[in-house]
Structure formats: structure tokens, C-alpha cells
Structure 1
Amino acid sequence: MQQYIILPIEGLAVPEFFIISAFLFFSQMRRSNNDPQVLFHFWHRLVLLYLFWTIVWSPIILMQKPYLHEGAGGILHFVLDFFFGNTFDASWFLGALIVGVPIVFGLSKILEERMVWILPFLVYIYLHYHTRLPAAWQVPYNFYNSFKDPILAFPGGLLWIAIGYHLSNEHIVNRIASIRNGYFWVALLIGLITYSVGIFPMYLLIVCVTLLFMAAYTWKLPTENLMTYKRLRAYSILFYVIHDSFKKIPKYLFSNIHNGPLLYVITLIVCWLSSEFIIRMRNVRGFHWLKYAY
């Protein structure tokens, strides 16, 4: 069950986050005629979010990164980790967006739109096939890998960001919207089954993540209560920045707790309670700074 259902679905999550984030950003950029202020606002907001949770999880970060006790060299290492690696657990996604989105935006300014995906795709291929290349070609990968796995950093997010960029094109959006939602779900199911048995997994992952976006985009949801969707948006951010660091705490305090259903339930409850507390308290006098949490 884990190999054929849980892991394939789990593997779609972070790439899908990249595509959705890039789609929303580049859709806004297109509406604003590529106003640089939109990029600055996106970058500034993301950096503040990242800094906020880096401070929150600093006790765990200090335990996980002993180099922070090495003075100026440790601080420089931490700055590199912030942008090109991660600070707290799972934060590589935030760093990858901070670095990757401006790169794809830059590519869109110097290349024809239909060509933007090529360089990110070549990076994707390189990351997964670098061991088959001559030793000299492996130097960039080994250099980056000396301090952080490049697949879990901005190089690993570039293709997904580029896909989000292309999907934000108005003509593509209209084309997707004209296709019945059910077709996407059926195609996604076939893709997941094929992907789960290991047939061209690297390429089928691209197909499945893209199909999942299309299926979600064309899914007709009720529009009466928009506040519900705003709350879910806040949950999605807060659950992400809380879950992976929190689950280290029970495992650290209790040696008999490991990854499994019990830790999953505990983490889920804590994420929900923490999210509710932050959302409700951000408008309370003296707690407005909580707006930076999501």
C-alpha cells in the first residue's frame, strides 16, 4: 500500500506547491504587465515568512546545525543555507522559491516564452542523471552537494516553477478550462498507476503533477463562502512550516515514538491547534506581528 498508493501521492505534494505558487505569482505578473513591484512584494513577503519561522524554530536549528557555534564562518554558512539550502526542516521549499522564481522570471525576459522551460528541464535531467556523466560534468553537482542536496534546493524546484509559469499563460488557462474536469482525474489516475509501478518515474512525475494541477484548477467548487478558502490557504502555509520541525520534538523527548500513525495524529492536532491560535490571535492587540506567520 505504501509503495503503490502513499508514496506516489506523497511525491506529488511539494512539486504541486511549487506549481501553484508559481502559477499564482506569474498570473499576477502578467496582469500587472510585469511590474517589478509585484516581484519585490512576493520576494519580500516570502523572506519575512521564512525569517519568522526560522526564529520560531531557532532552538531546534541550533541543535541541528552545530556550525552556528563557529562564529563568522558559521553565520556565512547559515546565510547560504537560508537561500540555497534550508534552515528549519522542510524550509528548502521557501528558499527554493526565493531564489527560483526570480531566475524563471529572468529567463522569461530574455527568452521567448515557449523556450523558458528548456533550461529548468535540463537542470532537472542533470540532477537525476549526473552520475552517468563524465567526472568533470559532475563537479557542479558535487560542489552543491557538499553542503546541501541540490534536489532539495532551488535547482530541484526550477522545473516546477517553470511549469507554473507556462500554465499561467492566458491561452493555456483558457484551453485547460475548456476540457471537462473528469478527463483530468481519469488521466491522473492512469498516470499514478503507471508511475507507482516504476515506469519512467522521472518523466511521469512531471505528467502527474501537471495533471493534478489541471484537475484541481477545473474542479468546480462552491463560491458562496470565500472565507473558508482563505482559512484553508492559511492552514496550508501554517501546516507546512510547523509539521516537520514539530514532529522532531516528540521523537527527541520520547525514544519510543517514531514515524507512524501516532506521531502523524499528534502532529496533525498540533498543527491545527497552532494554526487556529495564530489566525485568531493576529488581530488581537499586541499580536499583530503574527501576520508574518502566514
Structure 2
Amino acid sequence: MGSVGRYDSIDLAKFVLAFMVVLIHINPFSAEVNVVVMPVLRLAVPLFFIISAFFFFTKVNVGKGATESDVVQAVKRAIGFTKRNLTLYFFWLAILIVPVIALRGWFDRGILQGVFVLLQHFFFGSTFIASWYIMALIIAVWAVLILSVKLSSTQVVAITAPFFVVSCLMSNYYYAPLTQAHLDTLEFAFWYPYNSFWIGLFWVAVGKWISDRGGVWESVSSRSLLGCTAVGVIVLGFEQWFIVSNHYCFDSSVYFSLPLVVVPLFPLLLRWNISLSCGAFLRAASTVTYCLHATLGSVLAVFLGWWGLPASAVVVLGPVVILCLLVTVLLMKFERYPGLSWLRYAH
């Protein structure tokens, strides 16, 4: 795990994770099924953070033993990482800005307030639905990189762990007595931490921690990793039962037991040796689908409502998936033409 080559398993995993996110936002499940499925779907975003952090920090050298030149190169790579992600963000924001403004209603109380709300959501929340992840990733990578110049990856995980705890309390444990006693303070300080850079800090730190321990993971058998993942899934199931039984949940984004699943699962994905000829399409489709699906689903629901047709998630899901894949194919086709190479910024 020390070197980064071609990982077709990760391309496939990201493709699957993107459609897990689609199922979170366009949820076709009954309440009974959703209780079982949702904890599994919530593995997607942590794994996205860990994948991005792992591949970023595997290519940089900071901390103990790093030279000044290493740190300079790490900063340069972080600048490039930021430019790529902001370009992706602005591409989709430009494409989706009209439906976003219409759906969000930010300018209903005037232009000035609308601009402030838009900026607030750009930096600390979402503009187009699910976009919070992109900005959270950028902020978290920079924060973890800076902390890692002087601290070990274990120390960085420890520093960011309280943000993970707060995110759990504000989402799945929102109605727990402990949270309610301090809710005003938590909301003032963190807003929605489970959909912002706060939670990103922890998962990016975990991704770097995994990257720094490549040799350790290689010494652990796949059977052991699989066993740990299975135990984590069982614990996650019990946590969901506990939350539902006590009616604590406000938003199901974060569970305390998620690290027990994603930490052993990610090295398993890395060592899954498969060869795919469609890796480029899978990478593009996962990004396009993540950025486009939720806003597209909302727009389709509005149109169906205008026409007097049912606009349930069951009805909308299929067309959204098909359109996301079709858009990916078209983008990859037309970006090859002279004058249209800018379309590659969509993924």
C-alpha cells in the first residue's frame, strides 16, 4: 500500500458508492426496509473521504523525516488538488445554478441576503445538493496537511475525533438527552457538522492514518480484515436498532460504529485485484452521478408534479440513473472535440 498504481477495484467501488449516495437522496425504500438499508448506505461518504485522502497523502511526505522541500512539494500538490476540485465544483454550480436558486429560494428575501446565504452554503454547506462534500474535502485536506507537519497521523485523528463525535450527536443522536441539553450551543458552534468540513476533518485524518501504515496493513490477512468488517457491520446494525428504538435520529448521516466498518473495508478494497477496461468510464460516471443526481431528481419531481404525474422516489430513481449515465457518455464523447475539451472539468 506504500505505492500508488492503478486500482480498478477503487474505480468500481467509487461507482457503486456514487449510486449508494443516489439511494440516500432518492430513496425508494419503505420505512421498514430503509431502517435496515440506511446504515449501509451511510458507508459511502466516509469511504469517499478516505479514498481521496489516501491517494493524496500517499503521494506527499510531511511530518517526521520530511525535508523543507518535501513540505513545499506537499503544498504544491495541495494547491493542484484544490484547483481540480474547485474547477469541478464551479463547473456543476454553473450548470445547475438556475434550478439550485429556484429550489433553494435563497433570493426570496432580496438579492443581498441571497448572496450571503449562497456564500454561506458554498463554504460551509451545499449549493447544489451534495456539493458540501467537495468543499469539505478541500478544507479538510488542507487542515490535516498543516497539522501533519508537526503531528503524527494518530495525533491528528485524535484531534479531529471530537468533530466526529459532535457530528454523531447532531445527526443520529439529535434527540438524545445529552444532545438536547447542549443543543443551542452545538448548533451555534457547528451548524450542520455532519454535512460540512467538520466531519470531513475526521475522515480525511483517517485516510492519512491508513496511508501512513501501509506496511502494517500488508501484514494483516484478508481473512482478518474481512472478519473485522463483518463485526463492524454487526455493531452498526445494533447501533441502528438502539437509535431507532429510542427515537434519537434527526438525520442518519453519521454513526459511531462507521469507522469499525470502513477502516478494515478500505484496505480490503485496495488489495482486491481486478482488471477492468472501463475504469475511465467508471471514474467519470461516479463523479458526474454524484454531482448531478439530486438536483436532477428534484427538477424531475417538479416537472412530474406540474403534469399531474406521480413524483415519488420510485418513479424518479430510474430516469435519474439513466440520465446520469447518458450524460457521462455524452461528456466523454464530446470532450474529445476541439473547442469542447473544457467538458472534462465535469469529472
State the TM bucket, normalised to the shorter chain: 0.7 to 0.9
1:114 and 2:145 aligned = no
Distance 1:237 1:176 in 2: 28
Instruction: Give the structure 2 partner of residue 193 of structure 1.
Output: 234
Instruction: Give the structure 2 partner of residue 28 of structure 1.
Output: 59
Instruction: Give the conservation status (yes or no) of the 8 Å contact 1:177–1:218.
Output: no
Distance 1:175 1:136 in 2: 40
Query: What percent identity do the matched residue pairs reach?
Result: 25
- Structure ranking higher on relative contact order (CA contacts 8 Å, 6+ apart): 2
Instruction: Give the structure 2 partner of residue 63 of structure 1.
Output: 102
SS in 2 for 1:57: helix
Distance 1:15 1:43 in 2: 19
1:157 pairs with 200, 204, 211, which one?
200
Counterpart amino acid of 2:99? I
Distance 1:185 1:229 in 2: 25
1:216 and 2:216 aligned = no
Give the drift of 1:56. Answer: 0.7
Residue-by-residue CA offset, 1:192-216 (whole Å, 9 max, x unaligned): 1331132788332111111221210
Instruction: Give the conservation status (yes or no) of the 8 Å contact 1:4–1:196.
Output: no
Instruction: Give the structure 2 partner of residue 142 of structure 1.
Output: 188
Distance 1:119 1:138 in 2: 23
2:280 pairs with 230, 235, 240, which one?
230
Instruction: Give the structure 2 partner of residue 72 of structure 1.
Output: 112
Instruction: Give the conservation status (yes or no) of the 8 Å contact 2:168–2:256.
Output: no
Instruction: Give the conservation status (yes or no) of the 8 Å contact 2:153–2:208.
Output: no
Give the drift of 1:237. Answer: 1.0
Instruction: Give the conservation status (yes or no) of the 8 Å contact 1:29–1:39.
Output: no
Distance 2:197 2:265 in 1: 22
Counterpart amino acid of 1:30? N
Residue-by-residue CA offset, 1:82-115 (whole Å, 9 max, x unaligned): 1111110111111111221111111112323331
Q: Number of residue pairs matched?
A: 285
SS in 2 for 1:29: coil
1:257 and 2:298 aligned = no
2:225 pairs with 169, 174, 184, which one?
184
Given the two structures, how large is their TM-score scaled by the length of structure 2? 0.75
Residue-by-residue CA offset, 1:122-176 (whole Å, 9 max, x unaligned): 111133347726967852532542xxx221111122111110111111xx11222
- 1:123–1:241 distance in 2 versus 1, CA, 3 Å: same
Distance 1:65 1:265 in 2: 24
- 1:63–1:228 distance in 2 versus 1, CA, 3 Å: same
Give the drift of 1:54. Answer: 0.6
SS in 1 for 2:342: helix
Instruction: Give the structure 1 partner of residue 23 of structure 2.
Output: none
Distance 2:345 2:167 in 1: 33
Task: Choose 59-68 or 69-78, whichever is displaced more.
Answer: 69-78
Distance 1:28 1:192 in 2: 31
Higher helix share: 1
- 1:5–1:221 distance in 2 versus 1, CA, 3 Å: farther
Give the drift of 1:276. Answer: 0.7
Counterpart amino acid of 1:189? A
Task: Choose 62-71 or 132-141, whichever is displaced more.
Answer: 132-141
Distance 1:5 1:189 in 2: 15
Counterpart amino acid of 2:141? V
Distance 2:81 2:100 in 1: 25
Counterpart amino acid of 1:179? V
Instruction: Give the conservation status (yes or no) of the 8 Å contact 2:239–2:257.
Output: no
Distance 1:66 1:267 in 2: 23
Counterpart amino acid of 2:333? R
- 1:114–1:156 distance in 2 versus 1, CA, 3 Å: closer
Distance 2:107 2:180 in 1: 35
Residue-by-residue CA offset, 1:52-104 (whole Å, 9 max, x unaligned): 10111111111133233622342232122111111101111111112211111
Instruction: Give the structure 1 partner of residue 163 of structure 2.
Output: 123
Given the two structures, how large is their TM-score scaled by the length of structure 1? 0.88
Counterpart amino acid of 1:46? N
1:6 and 2:28 aligned = no
Counterpart amino acid of 2:321? L
Counterpart amino acid of 1:259? A
Q: Which runs of 5+ in 1 are unaligned?
A: none
Distance 1:162 1:186 in 2: 24
Task: Choose 96-105 or 43-52, whichever is displaced more.
Answer: 96-105
